[in-house]
Structure 1
Amino acid sequence: MREILLNELNWEVKGYWPWVPLKGTSMELGQELMGVTDWMPATVPGGVHHDLYRQGWIANPYEDLNSLSCEWVENRWWVYRMTLKRPELKGSRVELVFLGLDYEAAVYADHILLGEHKGMFDPAVYDVTELLSVREKLEISVLLKQAPDEMGQIGKTSATFTQKSRFNYKWDFSTRLVNIGIWDDVLLRIHEDYSWGEMSITTDAEVEEDGSTQVAGCIEIQAAVSSTSGAEPARTLTANITCSDPGGNPLLVQTLPVCAGAMLKTALDIPEPELWYPNGYGAQPLYCLELKLLDEDGKELDTRVIRTGIRKLDYIRNVDSPDNALPYTVVINGRRIYMKGVNMTPLDHLYGNITVEQYQLMVRLMKAAHVNLVRVWGGGIIEKQVFYDLCDANGIMVWQEFIQSSSGIDNIPSKQPEFLELLHQSARSALKAKRNHVAMTIWSGGNELMSEPNKPSDLSDSNLAMLKELVEQYDPQRLFLPTSASGPVEYISETKGQGHDVHGHWKYMGNPHHYELYGSNDNLLHSEFGVDGLSSLKSLEKFLGAAHSQPVSMENSAVWRHHGEWWDTLSRDEEIFGSLTDLAQFSACSQWIQAEGIRFVLEANRRRKFRNSGSIVWQLNEPWPNVSCTNVVDYYGEPKMAYHWMKQAFRPLHVSLDYRSLLLTPGTGFQGDVYVHGWEGESCEADAEVLDSAGRSLHRQHFITQGDRDRAVCAGTLKFTVPELEDQLYFVRLSFMNREEEPQQNVYVFSTAREHLYAPALALTGGNLQVRQENRWLPAVTGELSLQACFMVANTGSEALLHVHAEEKGNRYWMEADEQFLTLFPGEARMVTVTCTPRQAGGFLAGKNHSISGDLPVIQFKSFLAVQGTSKPDGGQENRE
């Protein structure tokens, strides 16, 4: 079988009123019924919204309130067309394949109906062999009916009737912007008389109990051989299987007879294999399998190439887990894996326009933040194939939900016959397509499905029992969880013994309640929680008009409400900082509280490793530019402060402080336990230092303890007396002392200000940031087009500089830095490595890109509320207050 991509042909699209394309001419007048639009160039894969925008039919829906004026698009019928020429390649059967039609389609060739299709996640495949045998070319047209009237976040799950992404219809992090179009690849498949059919690749490895010795590995292959021409059913063919090692060197070859219409089953024994591990636990070597199907004369009929990793996968219950709990701890190659996870929504409302480079950015950000698991959320989409390939290559375990989600009014899984048929179809398609990925780790029936309020649905629900049976049939090695959350209760609470896999909360819970709730919780798995925070000023200015550039409550601004209604943080942040009248100031304060809130939850959960099996932050990204949201990376690919503090909390080696309030009382004693995370074997030395805003060291303690890779170790208790001063900030800085590389530091900010806790931070004006670019921009290891430079940042002033970070001034590059949002005390300096990758985004984000050649990055350094330095492209540096 050979495949020819048809994406780049001259596709066009035209809009019509419903039913008009089927009628064509007026019954009364006999004249042609014209469309809503003219024929216009179309992007495939893509969606009609961006095509309309390029032709001036709609304004940019991501700006201000513009999306409200685009809701007519989902209510029209759309016809795509292109001319398909007969391919030069010959075969016994030619199939026209649409990997993603969104949503209800009829496909025609020269006005002959090839078939109808409903659903987003299973391919639409049509035999065009006979038509192409008698015609040099075909006009292929795809009629897409108006989008179904599905529910957004608020509705009744029991009434769900489609397998269309529901976040499109309005969610707390999105608007109503319902995609319609051809959202994945279109291709021709040219078959010989016989070809490979379904394939299932599983791997296993024998590992010593201590995980230290790799003994043997096995790659098991099941592959169907199908007749594509209706030819003789009993011909004996040859399967030639070559396995190459991760370096590309042929390792072993198998040659086996296989009968047409039969299933090939074989196993490849790999001595002393290189094992695949999640990010942070080891490398991700991938073996290459080439499966050739040959006829009696040695002619190649079909070839498939699959890359896979070898690992042993198990699941166990948590330490001290209740007997009725599910096995939430993943074990790979005999080693328990602590989940450091993120929840991922679709990258864009118009997911057909997402580029490979956007997926690469998201996976790169995950890996850099020490993330080892991503939950692909059930209210979104089953992602394109490239995403799962990237997860394989980067050690990001995948928790894939089937397309179901809660609805607020009721959350009961739908039992409607039409829905169950579509769910069965899309789930089976997903299982067959994703099971060969070594990163696939968990399947889940959907998001927040509940049989009654606060009670997660279980396998007594026939919908979820059906999905369980499908997983057992098509991917029996993976764990199936009925829903997320799962267990006795849905939401986190103070009640002990009830929290298995829990969700919540999604707000900073206030001081001290945030710390009391999360610091003493006993949940087994925290698979969804978050804290909201504003986007950066740089991003806000891209979608908010000048009239909306002042801090305001969502209640008082339709535009702000449209971009983040649920996530209004103004009152929260003014309670903590005092009056906020400047947008840059508001953004900086809001991001700080988001980062503080998320870090504490991550560290509190991690202190209970493996009683708690992991944390999965809600959410990594957003598909729509929000003023405020629970994401840690915004729509434009800009990591927020919370991303970097999450990255800190997920570090393999980490030291944390357990506290229950940010408020200190002058003249009283403070006590907080210091924990060491991830230290193996040898004696570990940690240092805790208490400083004031001028950088004076007020107290210092040294801790020595023995490390343990599989649990957090309490190294001792930090104790100090708070000075008799009101309205002061105090800093606790933790660091490892016996490491050769630059010490990792973790800084906590406390205050004695009772009225506005962090108001003293707004009064810090004595810091002075000096920035020097140490080298010219050079190609980075991360990619051919990426550039990298090092910057020395120093505080030459008299007070602490908070949250020192770099920002790329233009829109030409995605910028990543190894360290961000640092606290620099007077006289201190740190080296920061900055990597810039040309933005190559699709759809409406493409308008924010610039050419990938030309100007070098321009980096600006900031501290809390202030801009201090801007790099020059030639490697020089300006400095300014």
Structure 2
Amino acid sequence: MREIILNGEWEVKGFWPWVPLKGTSMEIGSELMGVTEWLPASVPGGVHKDLHAAGWIDHPYRDMNSLNCEWVENRWWVYKTVFQVPDEPGKKIELVCKGLDYEAIVMLDGQTLGEHANMFAPAAFDVTEALRGRQTAELRIVLRHSPDEMGQIGKTSETFTQKSRFNYKWDFSTRLVHIGLWDEVSLRVHEPFSFEAIGLFTDADEKGGRIAIEASICRKRPDHASEAEKQECGAADSGGEYGTCELEARILSPSGEVVTTLRQPFKQKSCSLAVDIPQPLLWFPNGYGEQPLYTVRLRLSDGDKVLDEQTHRTGIRRLEYRRNEGAPDDSLPYTFVVNGVPIYIRGANLTPLDHLYGNVQDEKYVWMAEAAARANMNMLRVWGGGLIEKEILYESCDRLGLLVWQEFIQSSSGIDNEPSKKPEFLKRLTETAEHALRTKRNHVSLAVWSGGNELMSEPDRPSTFADPNLAMLRELVAEHDPGRLFLPTSASGPVQYITREKGVSHDVHGHWKYEGNPAHYSLYGEADHLFHSEFGVDGVSSPRTLRKYLSEPHLKPVSMRDDPVWRHHGEWWDTYDRDTEMFGEFRDLSEFSRASQWMQAEGLRFILEANRRRQFKNSGSLVWQLNEPWPNASCTNLIDYGLEPKMAYYWTKNAFAPNHAALHYRTLDYSVGETFEGEVFFFHGSERSLFIVHTELLDTNGAVLASWKHQAAKSRANVTESGPLRFEVPDTADDLFYVRLRAEDTEAKIDTAQADNLYVFSVRRLHPYRSALGSAGAKLDAEALGEWQEIARNPNDQQSETDLPTLRRSYRIVNTGTTVALHVHPQEMTEAYRLLADDAYFSLFPGEEKIVTVDCAALIPDVFGAKNDQAQADAPRSPNPRVAFVHFGDPDR
């Protein structure tokens, strides 16, 4: 089979509904010209990008411009292209549309091939006869207006499409409904037989590794074949229905050497074979080992004639599931075990990367997956209100060791959350599920399927397999991917939301706000859930991102109650009252953003450390959310739309570090002379080593008021409670005091940089962190250690063409001032690069220094091509990044 991507010149034009099928007026006979002219079109892509490029709409992500774009989803759109017909006489040629979004009529040279309504299942049409004798042909795809589906608020039971719902309006997105060809359009030229489906399944035990291959083929005879073509496609009847078709599997090691080649004849539609790999290189999740990938080259042949070929990359590993330690008998298995090693899940939820998901560059997928891996994550949950994502995401997860939790396309709706039973919906859901199962099962990173997001048959009670919808999906998973866990929904119960009630929480969601001081600490510090698959804390985006998408009048600290533009960019995530309660009033946007991000990071860190203290009674945490699909003024994301990692990203990275010291405390504010009560914990990585945790009590000037040592010997669950921490709360000049934990590996084998931790407390009841806003005594000196060096960003990726050069440089940062420099982090000042550091938002007391390594790569524009404001866009691009280090008390930069 040969695939020809139709990536030539495309055009798109908008019409009123039904006009493309009528063409001329019934009354006066004149041409119905349409809403727009024919415009250059991006395929894969979406209409909004093309309209913006042609000047028909303003940038939808700025201020409230998206409200002026809602007409787009209510028009019909016609895509057209002219392509060269492949010269393949006697072969079956299919037109395949991988991503029709949403209801489409497909026409070839004016003749209707068929209709399709599912953006996650491809549409395929036999065009062999229609193309016979032609050199060129015109393809037109008519997209009806977007269906009237529901956003976040509605009735799940009334859902009737398999269209991504988040861009009908969700708490982290506006209403901007994608319409277009969001994936490739191609011609597939088939020999008499082609692969229909491939299944790759790997396993390992003490005897070695194994790659099992299941292949099914189908006869690719043209629908209107001649007698000669029928005879050719039938192969030799004497050889059976499938003639002398044979499967050849060639396995290459991660370094490229041929391990073995096996062959198996097709005696029926399907055949299978298993390849034993002695002494295999095992694939582990990120942080637990390496991710070697074997290449599997599959060839379908008939004698000396090659009929079809496919190449896959997979890892060898054993994947198992266990109940948590001490879990009730009726609980589901939430502990993932890879190669016999229990994996504590440290991950995040992934939303679609953009409202206009058809226009997302592969490079953005690669970068987002790398950012997750660099944050010590080992799992991404692909959320059920979004997408069955493009292959590049799963390939990246394979390379980086990120396990994938994949949900089918269903989500809660608020008014009712019961899975839809509509026959039309179940038909479409089946199409989506079967296609997803047949393609995603071949990725070693895929670890679990879920029926959808927050499906509930009654309030606060997740749906179970008793629901016919979910029972149907369970049967499909059992048929196509029987070795993987299938959860009915996320959360999977028996209660939906985290609660103070004991004994009822297995897999739970919530909450998504800082719960207040001290309520936040008692709720999460005393929780007993088995798994935490969604929770978050909100924080304001970086000023740099806000300046790109909000106009000047809105670039100030404000409550969303008082500014409709801020409300339009994140209504649910108003942190103004929370942050002014902690800090008092803010002087400018930068101060507000930094304070808000501090509270987000503080709240998330405590949840992550509280969950991890109970490893493996609690088996993992998935932060809501890693990213966002449009520029919110405030949100629960770790990385904002401008690809600026927030403080919470780096504090999450540290909380997820293999070796990490943590403090359990009950509140942020105390009275002078009160006894501080806490406990010191140490989380161990896979190394067998003895750690000492040095605990210090400091004031803002860096004076050590008291110190302790706690030993952290490795325990069975890789968590050590090193000892209690008790002291009398001091009276300091600015009302702030600090507890710092610093880890020392007694055998000097492990870099403990991410093991350190600093906690900030106050003796003020009103605005406890107010004094931190005035830390003017800190002064940073940054010295570059050498020149920028070009590096390969992803050494595990042997085949990717999306990895652009990344520049790396190290800096020595010294606090030469008289007070603590809080939350020191690098900023790239030219705004032409995106930046990831090995550490950021750390604090330096007077005289202290730290070496930080930063990686910079060219900024990825948003889907409309905008990088920043017009003045910056017109400025000459800097040949190299320019990095500055700032701290919490610095003026707005």
Per the shorter chain, which TM-score range? over 0.9
Deviation per CA, 1:814-866, whole angstroms, max 9, x where unpaired? 11111101100000111111101112445225555979986211212210031
Question: 1:572 — aligned with what?
Answer: 578
Residue 287 (structure 1) aligned with residue 294 (structure 2): yes
Deviation per CA, 1:403-439, whole angstroms, max 9, x where unpaired? 0111111111111111111111111111111011111
CA distance in 2, matches of 1:701, 1:56: 65
Stretch moving more, 427-436 or 73-82:
427-436
CA distance in 1, matches of 2:866, 2:137: 32
Task: Kindly report which structure 2 residues correspond to 1:766-805, keeping only aligned pairs within 5 A, or say none.
Answer: 766-782=777-793, 783-805=803-825
Q: 1:781 Cα shift?
A: 3.3
Residue 512 (structure 1) aligned with residue 518 (structure 2): yes
SS in 2 for 1:776: strand
| Cα pair 1:625 1:634 within 8 Å, conserved | yes
Residue 832 (structure 1) aligned with residue 852 (structure 2): yes
CA distance in 1, matches of 2:624, 2:485: 22
CA distance in 2, matches of 1:179, 1:551: 32
Question: 1:170 — aligned with what?
Answer: 169
SS in 1 for 2:582: helix
Question: 1:703 — aligned with what?
Answer: 710
| Cα pair 2:583 2:769 within 8 Å, conserved | yes
CA distance in 2, matches of 1:243, 1:510: 56
Q: 1:90 Cα shift?
A: 5.9
Residue 748 (structure 1) aligned with residue 771 (structure 2): no
> Paired residue for 1:246, among 245, 250, 254?
254
Stretch moving more, 228-237 or 629-638:
228-237
CA distance in 2, matches of 1:251, 1:90: 38
CA distance in 2, matches of 1:809, 1:705: 41
Distance 1:868 1:122, change over 3 A: closer
| Cα pair 2:13 2:79 within 8 Å, conserved | yes
CA distance in 1, matches of 2:696, 2:25: 82
Deviation per CA, 1:441-463, whole angstroms, max 9, x where unpaired? 11001111111111111011111
Task: Kindly report which structure 2 residues correspond to 1:480-519, keeping only aligned pairs within 5 A, or say none.
Answer: 480-519=486-525
CA distance in 1, matches of 2:595, 2:70: 35
| Cα pair 1:91 1:190 within 8 Å, conserved | no
Task: Kindly report which structure 2 residues correspond to 1:22-61, keeping only aligned pairs within 5 A, or say none.
Answer: 22-61=21-60
Residue 809 (structure 1) aligned with residue 815 (structure 2): no
Residue 731 (structure 1) aligned with residue 749 (structure 2): no
| Cα pair 1:353 1:842 within 8 Å, conserved | no
SS in 2 for 1:560: helix
CA distance in 1, matches of 2:301, 2:474: 37
Deviation per CA, 1:101-156, whole angstroms, max 9, x where unpaired? 10000101001111100011001111111122221111000000000001111111
Task: Kindly report which structure 2 residues correspond to 1:661-672, keeping only aligned pairs within 5 A, or say none.
Answer: 661-672=667-678
Residue 388 (structure 1) aligned with residue 387 (structure 2): no
Distance 1:20 1:401, change over 3 A: same
Distance 1:294 1:665, change over 3 A: same
Deviation per CA, 1:368-396, whole angstroms, max 9, x where unpaired? 00110000010111100111111111110
Question: 1:877 — aligned with what?
Answer: none
Question: 2:227 — aligned with what?
Answer: none
Question: 1:712 — aligned with what?
Answer: 719
CA distance in 1, matches of 2:792, 2:715: 33
CA distance in 1, matches of 2:560, 2:535: 22
Question: 2:204 — aligned with what?
Answer: 205
Residue identity opposite 2:718 in structure 1: R
Residue 865 (structure 1) aligned with residue 882 (structure 2): no
CA distance in 2, matches of 1:737, 1:441: 35
SS in 1 for 2:132: helix
| Cα pair 1:220 1:265 within 8 Å, conserved | yes
| Cα pair 1:674 1:715 within 8 Å, conserved | yes
SS in 1 for 2:175: coil
Question: 2:244 — aligned with what?
Answer: 236
| Cα pair 2:69 2:176 within 8 Å, conserved | yes
| Cα pair 2:628 2:637 within 8 Å, conserved | yes
SS in 1 for 2:603: helix
Residue 64 (structure 1) aligned with residue 63 (structure 2): yes
Question: 2:78 — aligned with what?
Answer: 79
Q: 1:31 Cα shift?
A: 1.1
> Paired residue for 2:538, among 532, 542, 546?
532
CA distance in 2, matches of 1:842, 1:689: 45
| Cα pair 2:744 2:752 within 8 Å, conserved | no
CA distance in 2, matches of 1:204, 1:458: 29
Aligned residues: 859
Stretch moving more, 541-550 or 852-861:
852-861
CA distance in 1, matches of 2:806, 2:889: 29
Distance 1:83 1:374, change over 3 A: same
Q: Gaps spanning 5+ residues in structure 2: where?
A: 222-229, 235-240, 794-802
Distance 1:793 1:95, change over 3 A: same
SS in 1 for 2:248: strand
Task: Kindly report which structure 2 residues correspond to 1:358-507, keeping only aligned pairs within 5 A, or say none.
Answer: 358-507=364-513
CA distance in 2, matches of 1:255, 1:755: 75
SS in 2 for 1:595: helix
Distance 1:438 1:528, change over 3 A: same
Question: 1:223 — aligned with what?
Answer: 215
Point out 4+ residue stretches in structure 1 off by more than 6 angstroms: 849-853
Residue identity opposite 1:140 in structure 2: L
| Cα pair 1:681 1:708 within 8 Å, conserved | no
Question: 1:614 — aligned with what?
Answer: 620
Residue identity opposite 1:822 in structure 2: F
Q: 1:256 Cα shift?
A: 2.5
TM-score (norm 2): 0.94
Q: 1:96 Cα shift?
A: 1.2
Question: 1:876 — aligned with what?
Answer: none
Stretch moving more, 12-21 or 94-103:
94-103
CA distance in 1, matches of 2:804, 2:878: 15
CA distance in 1, matches of 2:619, 2:752: 30
Question: 1:761 — aligned with what?
Answer: 772
CA distance in 1, matches of 2:661, 2:855: 27
SS in 2 for 1:774: strand
| Cα pair 1:358 1:841 within 8 Å, conserved | no
CA distance in 2, matches of 1:509, 1:745: 25
SS in 2 for 1:737: strand
SS in 2 for 1:429: helix
Residue 822 (structure 1) aligned with residue 842 (structure 2): yes
Residue identity opposite 1:318 in structure 2: N
Deviation per CA, 1:684-736, whole angstroms, max 9, x where unpaired? 21111111100001111111232136331101112222123475111111121
Distance 1:90 1:769, change over 3 A: farther
SS in 2 for 1:167: coil
Residue identity opposite 2:148 in structure 1: D
CA distance in 2, matches of 1:544, 1:817: 27
CA distance in 2, matches of 1:257, 1:165: 41
Question: 1:684 — aligned with what?
Answer: 691
CA distance in 1, matches of 2:180, 2:91: 31
| Cα pair 1:839 1:852 within 8 Å, conserved | no
Question: 2:106 — aligned with what?
Answer: 107
Residue identity opposite 1:780 in structure 2: I
| Cα pair 1:622 1:634 within 8 Å, conserved | yes
SS in 1 for 2:503: coil
CA distance in 1, matches of 2:566, 2:90: 57
Question: 1:160 — aligned with what?
Answer: 159
Distance 1:175 1:222, change over 3 A: same
Task: Kindly report which structure 2 residues correspond to 1:117-196, keeping only aligned pairs within 5 A, or say none.
Answer: 117-196=116-195
CA distance in 2, matches of 1:693, 1:91: 81
Q: Percent identity?
A: 53
SS in 2 for 1:775: strand
TM-score (norm 1): 0.96
Residue 3 (structure 1) aligned with residue 3 (structure 2): yes
CA distance in 2, matches of 1:345, 1:800: 37
Q: 1:186 Cα shift?
A: 1.4
Distance 1:867 1:553, change over 3 A: closer
